[in-house]
Structure 1
């Protein structure tokens, strides 16, 4: 078919689409992976026949000056369908700057459409694509501001793919930026893409903008984005565009994605690979004069990794050492043509990208490296990049500070925020676990008799005993406050470990009592009513529950179960582990003639 006949056919099909409104709207979900829930849906338009795919459809509309007309048709169909399906979250609408700036484009039409179909403006996000070049930036800014004043949210689409992304970002101040798929594709294998994403995240934090990663097709990409802190995700890996889209992913689907939970930032150390910087290495045969040229060309360059024929790192060449040698009398003449092997550091710290940051930190401090230096990071024993020691130590400090903000100041164990996150993470993943509520008995009387310093020491002892008992098993130990602790058990050994906590604590806590009190098994003290009573030595009450994941929807319900179990355990005078058979939250309304499931030992 000739070019003219193709054009004639496209024109005819476009005319029919506009006349009869024959566009199909598909919706692709955008998920908040931190909350494992849908953020909203992007509306995608499809035509018919030779103009089915959006690229051909909108190109034809632009060629025949029908872009504004087509966009309004797609916009109305998207809003109508979104409301009809009663989809949750926000509706993301693609709008090209060319259509917005078209003099024939009617003003106020989008507001009219949302009012017509009963949708509030704050649930609509206007996506402005970054791929189209805009000559009149001021007019575009005024137009976008008009939409914002009407209550719509703004997003920049395809950030990084077009002409002026960062400039648009600074001028439009969008609520969302969608990173172009190019930077997502195999980002887990590209340091350059990872550094770009890190920069976008930092800029987003500074401007209060939410980042959306689109075009995700591989689990590895999604895991990297999650670790970097990008929580909004869209792509075929999660869901394909459909006329009746998936709203919520099943728990098993989230589990299959193998995502790190939020609590992992508290429970586990990150890998050193996330701090790697992309930087070229030099071959071991490189002459010192050529290496010196590299340093001269880049004043920010402090170190160069030296690799062999297999790209395995064998040393690190430092700018200051090379400069010092060349500055000495006859230094340049002696070393210019010699291999960098002569001057490089032959024992740099080389670590695999999967090495945990806290382990690397220990290696750094044990070997007393100069803080100005770098360490070499490898992947499968081959050179990957460099990480400055200063950045590593800075990151560790920030992690410690963040941990301390949510930690109990007495024991430095994670506090309520972290405990709730640990429980919520397991509920989201539908990962079976047990929860123990550990409480000291007779603590007030001990505190009154032996003093607050001894009381604090006993609390710290309980923390140490609990951590020590649990260190060989997958557990999370948290300190609620005062003499109350919680332990999340991921294994099947919760009962045995709880019994060990009781026996170890009872044995070690005797050291805080006088020999007379130990021999007597307690002491006499005055209660709140002024009466003398015999108080036993310190004991523990532990309530243990294994929540039903299908019924417990949040950490508060699980904690309430554990609290009830702990109250049952405190009925006993001596240390007691109470195992609660009730696995579901208490019903809020009591019905007559129905058996209520109770906790039982």
Structure 2
């Protein structure tokens, strides 16, 4: 007997294992879905890590005993710490199919601990080859009959793949880390994930992405519609896991534009007050709901806390009941059996522009609805048709007032953005950006190059302002305005100047770049030296209590821009004047009135 086998026997005999719990988050609801129990061997030993521990147990034919011990430890600690949500327990098919593996022991452990069987998820790993597929199906069916939930672990990493999925009909599938790792940079992985999502929808299976370690991975997964996530980025395994969601919230919202003056409206305005049904509602009762109101296409399924957990569609329920024995099979089944378990759920404050992106990524059926929540609780439904119609109307309105060259908002939208801030008494800064020496450049290099330079200035401005709360507008010609809501206006204006000067040199010949300009004729026909393109920017921070309209604010910015144009090179003029100029009264007019 070698040292590894002696150590393994000692671990099992002394029950020298401990459990680390790693949270699995529901990103849409910003709450814990459950915890995966990760077993470890004797501390400080060569069998502490799970890979070596379970490999040794398999090699020395002690796998069944070890798994039962780990299961007991996990259940005991889960209950002792009063952890919320579900407990995910790893179970290898080899152990399940071992004739010596005691039947009903897991249920006995759960009942002994006072835990409901519905809170236990049996994770069947996909990495082990199973010779007797029928026996495995029978064993899984037995677990399901006892009230346990079933999950396939490491989907895509093992032998049976989609075949096991179709046969086991799991409640959850956990996508293998390989497909999550740098998925944001791999078209193949992205398409694989999309296929998994579509299959999950068709089979009413919830998808869990595991092994998330990068912000970019998390962002892509959310865009694709995977709402259940696990990984080191969110929380590492711990014997006493943190229950707070602070880190998750920071990851989700870091860099987001939570701007109250976004041009897009919030999705909450489109919510329709449609009654919801409880998870305990039977399919026959749900069918009666649809029959009473023929206009009703979908019903939101909520839990005791009125948090949405799924969406039941009329056509799916009708199709099931139309099948032979449909009523007999499903009348008394809960709606959770047929509902869509991964509907699109958004907060009422979500902007229409971001919702539009989510709809595009999800490739939703036009007949479907989006669930809208307020502080995590069900608020109402928004039909996709209404959302898309409103988005279309907004785009048309935007296009009517947009500059045709850059497609940036024009004068109407700029004035509206300023007026919004004045009405809200919200402090802001306004930059007036103007190109210097543009006419001479346009005359020498042609209007096509002139248009390209204007588009370059638009692109540079938008790129610089991308990660700040800004509104970028195009007045017309070579004039732009930027509304800044943060106190970073000066730094961003300097960055706009630096980037534009560097990139605009590409439009000049090498000779003109080397000389720093070129000779051209002015309006009087006289030759003069014209410098390369530069920028004049006038920046003001208007007093919102003194300025009554957008025209007064624009006049302040225009005066500041005129001061900036007095300098030969690019220049940012920061105006200290914050109130509008007093109206000029002509004395002659006063005199004439007096007479």
Question: Within 1, Cα distance between the matches of 2:349 and 2:262?
Answer: 17
Kindly tell me the number of residue pairs found equivalent between the two proteins: 329
Question: Within 2, Cα distance between the matches of 1:435 and 1:309?
Answer: 49
How far apart are residue 591 of structure 1 and its match? Answer: 9.5
Structure 1 unaligned spans of 5+? 1-263, 593-601
Indicate whether 1:285 and 2:244 are aligned.
no
SS at match of 2:432: strand
CA contact (8 A) 1:543 1:567 kept: yes
Question: Within 2, Cα distance between the matches of 1:331 and 1:553?
Answer: 67
TM-score relative to the length of structure 1: 0.51
1:409 corresponding residue in structure 2? 404
Indicate whether 1:337 and 2:332 are aligned.
yes
**Given the superposition, is the C-alpha separation of residues 561 and 337 from structure 1 closer, same or farther in structure 2, using an over 3 Å criterion?**
closer
Indicate whether 1:421 and 2:416 are aligned.
yes
Q: In structure 2, which of residues 360, 376, 393 is the aligned counterpart of residue 398 of structure 1?
A: 393
Question: Within 2, Cα distance between the matches of 1:582 and 1:382?
Answer: 48
Q: In structure 2, which of residues 561, 565, 571 is the aligned counterpart of residue 566 of structure 1?
A: 561
Question: Within 1, Cα distance between the matches of 2:311 and 2:520?
Answer: 69
Residues 241-285 of structure 1 show CA distances to partners (whole Å, capped at 9, x for unaligned) of xxxxxxxxxxxxxxxxxxxxxxx9973432222211111222223
2:438 corresponding residue in structure 1? 443
How far apart are residue 497 of structure 1 and its match? Answer: 2.1
SS at match of 1:267: coil
How far apart are residue 424 of structure 1 and its match? Answer: 3.0
Residues 51-75 of structure 1 show CA distances to partners (whole Å, capped at 9, x for unaligned) of xxxxxxxxxxxxxxxxxxxxxxxxx
How far apart are residue 430 of structure 1 and its match? Answer: 4.0
Q: In structure 2, which of residues 378, 381, 394 is the aligned counterpart of residue 383 of structure 1?
A: 378
How far apart are residue 550 of structure 1 and its match? Answer: 5.2
**Given the superposition, is the C-alpha separation of residues 446 and 293 from structure 1 closer, same or farther in structure 2, using an over 3 Å criterion?**
same
CA contact (8 A) 1:435 1:545 kept: yes
Question: Within 1, Cα distance between the matches of 2:305 and 2:425?
Answer: 44
Residues 530-553 of structure 1 show CA distances to partners (whole Å, capped at 9, x for unaligned) of 333322111011122333455443
1:146 corresponding residue in structure 2? none
Q: In structure 1, which of residues 348, 355, 359 is the aligned counterpart of residue 354 of structure 2?
A: 359
Question: Within 2, Cα distance between the matches of 1:591 and 1:353?
Answer: 54
After superposition, the CA RMSD in angstroms is: 2.4
**Is 307-316 or 295-304 further displaced after alignment?**
307-316
Indicate whether 1:480 and 2:475 are aligned.
yes
**Given the superposition, is the C-alpha separation of residues 298 and 477 from structure 1 closer, same or farther in structure 2, using an over 3 Å criterion?**
same
Question: Within 2, Cα distance between the matches of 1:384 and 1:589?
Answer: 55
SS at match of 1:385: strand
Indicate whether 1:373 and 2:368 are aligned.
yes
**Given the superposition, is the C-alpha separation of residues 312 and 466 from structure 1 closer, same or farther in structure 2, using an over 3 Å criterion?**
same
Question: Within 2, Cα distance between the matches of 1:586 and 1:312?
Answer: 55
SS at match of 2:486: coil
CA contact (8 A) 1:266 1:418 kept: no
Question: Within 2, Cα distance between the matches of 1:466 and 1:274?
Answer: 31
**Given the superposition, is the C-alpha separation of residues 448 and 265 from structure 1 closer, same or farther in structure 2, using an over 3 Å criterion?**
farther
SS at match of 2:412: helix
SS at match of 2:467: coil
Question: Within 1, Cα distance between the matches of 2:351 and 2:548?
Answer: 33
TM-score relative to the length of structure 2: 0.52
SS at match of 1:301: coil
2:343 corresponding residue in structure 1? 348
**Given the superposition, is the C-alpha separation of residues 491 and 377 from structure 1 closer, same or farther in structure 2, using an over 3 Å criterion?**
closer
CA contact (8 A) 1:266 1:403 kept: no
SS at match of 2:317: helix
Question: Within 2, Cα distance between the matches of 1:482 and 1:367?
Answer: 39
Q: In structure 1, which of residues 524, 527, 543 is the aligned counterpart of residue 522 of structure 2?
A: 527
Residues 20-71 of structure 1 show CA distances to partners (whole Å, capped at 9, x for unaligned) of xxxxxxxxxxxxxxxxxxxxxxxxxxxxxxxxxxxxxxxxxxxxxxxxxxxx
Report matched runs for 1:39-438 at 5 Å: 267-438=262-433
**Given the superposition, is the C-alpha separation of residues 307 and 439 from structure 1 closer, same or farther in structure 2, using an over 3 Å criterion?**
same
